[in-house]
A and B are shown apart, each in its own frame.
Chain A
Amino acid sequence: MKQIVPLAALMALTLLLPAPGVAQILEVTIEVDGLACPFCAYSLEKNLKRIGGISGIAINVNQGTATLTPVTDSQVDLEGIPVAVKDAGFTPRDMRVSAAGRIELRGGGAVLVAADGTLLFRLDPNEVLSSVGTGDWDNYEILGVYVLHEESDESTGPPRLSLTRVAALRAEKP
């Protein structure tokens, strides 16, 4: 039963995905430390609303999280989300990003790219990424849930993500 629930959730999420080949961010959830008082959550909501490309914000005080839903096919300023949390007077922690795209090998590393070749994320090598299988990277479209690193050691380029979950959307192999 425990295995069926996440699988069903993943399948449901798959139905919400855009057409294969279009890479995009589906949802972003950031953990917010210090979010202990509903009366001060207003400043968090107000600061997150300033982030471009966001259509909805849900603040869960009990979980200490804020979940942002991007506008379809729009760019989301991921780096600006923890900055907005800090500007609101709280401490940003891990940020989980649900995204759809294609994993490719570029410059000796795995990347998640959009259909037009735009790099969305550089992917950290880990067990989940290894489970996809190097030979299949350019043959499958991938749905993944990622954890954005709190601190990036590079100031330029796409953000780094650690893959925590993947799902094949469409097998192009016969």
Chain B
Amino acid sequence: MPGSRYRLRAVLLLAIFPAALCMPVTSRAQGPPILTDTPIMLGLEGRGVRTFLKIVRKGTLLRDGNEITDPMDRSITAYVLPLALPYNFTPTLQVGAVVPFVSKTLDSRDTDKTHSGVGDVSTFVKKLLLQVDRKGETFRVAAKGMAKLPTGDDETPVPLGTGSLDYGGSVVAGWIKGRWGLYGEAIYIHNTSNGDIDYGDRVGYHAALGFRLLPWVYERYPSPQFNLYLELNGNTIGHTDVAGTKNPDSGGSELFLSPGIQFVGGRKWLVEASLQLPVRNEPNGTQLGTDWTASVGMRVLLI
């Protein structure tokens, strides 16, 4: 029963995380979320470079969300190293690009194929729409426009890109008060086509709860700090049409519960790690479902 397995993971994580959070709020501040975007485009979120190694493991064959035996014993393991380069024109306007380096391996009983290279490059522009500041507290909302370029090789059995020019937008909100931070993002991406393959659109939704574990009281800047995160990261993707015919084994929904930890070591750098565990894994038809993803990364402020 994969559904009950996911629910058990969710219950365990939801039980463990609040235990660390049940501490008095004695001072202010924590850091940027790991997987969810933030409207606060300052410091380590602006004019810096961010990179992380993300490992995605798909090895469970699902039919309508239920685990079935795969006679081919297929699995996909992807190592993605995105290099994100944001640049702040002003404190309220940011542009940037994300260049992913991808290594993808397709395993099955009778084949083993790996392909590596640059994936699909993304660009974005983010504009702050609302800023409400109080003492030790800020609430901000930003709008983001995104475009994904077909730069990844899509002509191999293990494609690194979709070959389509996709674009969309999102609304990002963030609130920080005390040792807590709360962030949310709602995304819509219009996926276009590559030849006679017409990809379904994507709706994404993210939420992140952050908590500064240490130091207990943040006095003088800069001080090292540990932050904990619990994020929910979801996607729903529409069916792909091939030559005008709907592919029933495409698209679907997934929702991950993502605990993470972050260490801000100084003015200009931080390291972070996050594990994504599926709490909802419902690809349409028969497809490999995501078992887990793991991310380890760092952010460095350049200027």
CB distance A39 to B28 under 8 Å? no
CB distance A43 to B43 under 8 Å? yes
CB distance B32 to A39 under 8 Å? yes
CB distance B221 to A33 under 8 Å? no
Q: Which residue of B lies closest to A58 (CB)?
A: B220
Residues on A with beta carbons closer than 8 Å to the beta carbon of B28: 35-36, 61-62, 64
Shortest distance from the beta carbon of A80 to any chain B beta carbon, whole Å: 16
CB distance A42 to B267 under 8 Å? yes
Interface 9-mer from A6-14, A85-93, A95-103: A85-93
Q: Contacts A62-B28, A62-B218; is A37 near B40 (CB within 8 Å)?
A: yes
CB distance A89 to B91 under 8 Å? yes
Interface size range on A against B: 20 to 34
CB distance B31 to A62 under 8 Å? no
CA distance A64 to B28 in the complex (A): 9
Contact of A60 among B45, B91, B220 (CB under 8 A): B220
- List which B171-228 residues lie within 8 A (CB) of chain A: 176-177, 181, 217-223, 225
CB distance B220 to A59 under 8 Å? yes
CA distance A38 to B264 in the complex (A): 9
Shortest distance from the beta carbon of A39 to any chain B beta carbon, whole Å: 5
CB distance B45 to A39 under 8 Å? yes
Shortest distance from the beta carbon of B271 to any chain A beta carbon, whole Å: 13
Q: Contacts A43-B43, A61-B29, A88-B42; is A38 near B222 (CB within 8 Å)?
A: yes
Residues on A with beta carbons closer than 8 Å to the beta carbon of B131: 34, 89, 91
Residues on B with beta carbons closer than 8 Å to the beta carbon of A61: 27-29, 218-221
- List which B252-271 residues lie within 8 A (CB) of chain A: 264, 267-268, 270
B28-66: CB near A (< 8 Å → 1, else 0) gives 111110000000111111100000000000000000000
Shortest distance from the beta carbon of B211 to any chain A beta carbon, whole Å: 13
Residues on B with beta carbons closer than 8 Å to the beta carbon of A38: 29, 31, 218, 221-223, 225, 264
Asked if A114 is at the interface (CB within 8 A of a chain B CB), the reply is no
Asked if B247 is at the interface (CB within 8 A of a chain A CB), the reply is no
CA distance A118 to B222 in the complex (A): 38
CB distance A40 to B137 under 8 Å? no
CA distance A87 to B138 in the complex (A): 16
Residues on A with beta carbons closer than 8 Å to the beta carbon of B223: 38
CA distance A90 to B43 in the complex (A): 12
Residues on B with beta carbons closer than 8 Å to the beta carbon of A60: 219-221
Shortest distance from the beta carbon of A67 to any chain B beta carbon, whole Å: 10
Shortest distance from the beta carbon of B264 to any chain A beta carbon, whole Å: 6
A1-30: CB near B (< 8 Å → 1, else 0) gives 000000000000000000000000000000
A34-54: CB near B (< 8 Å → 1, else 0) gives 111111111101000000000
Q: Which residue of A lies closest to B227 (CB)?
A: A39
CB distance B42 to A59 under 8 Å? no
Residues on A with beta carbons closer than 8 Å to the beta carbon of B32: 37, 39
CB distance A89 to B301 under 8 Å? no
CA distance A93 to B136 in the complex (A): 12
Asked if B135 is at the interface (CB within 8 A of a chain A CB), the reply is yes
Asked if A104 is at the interface (CB within 8 A of a chain B CB), the reply is no
Residues on B with beta carbons closer than 8 Å to the beta carbon of A34: 131, 133-134, 137-138
Q: Which 7 A-B pairs have the closest CB atoms?
A: A34-B133, A40-B42, A89-B91, A40-B43, A33-B133, A91-B133, A34-B138
A–B complex contacts, Cβ < 8 Å, 6 sampled: A34-B133, A38-B264, A40-B44, A43-B43, A45-B267, A64-B135
Binding site for B on A (CB under 8 A): 31, 33-43, 45, 58-62, 64, 87-91, 93
Binding site for A on B (CB under 8 A): 27-32, 40-46, 91-92, 131, 133-138, 176-177, 181, 217-223, 225, 264, 267-268, 270, 301
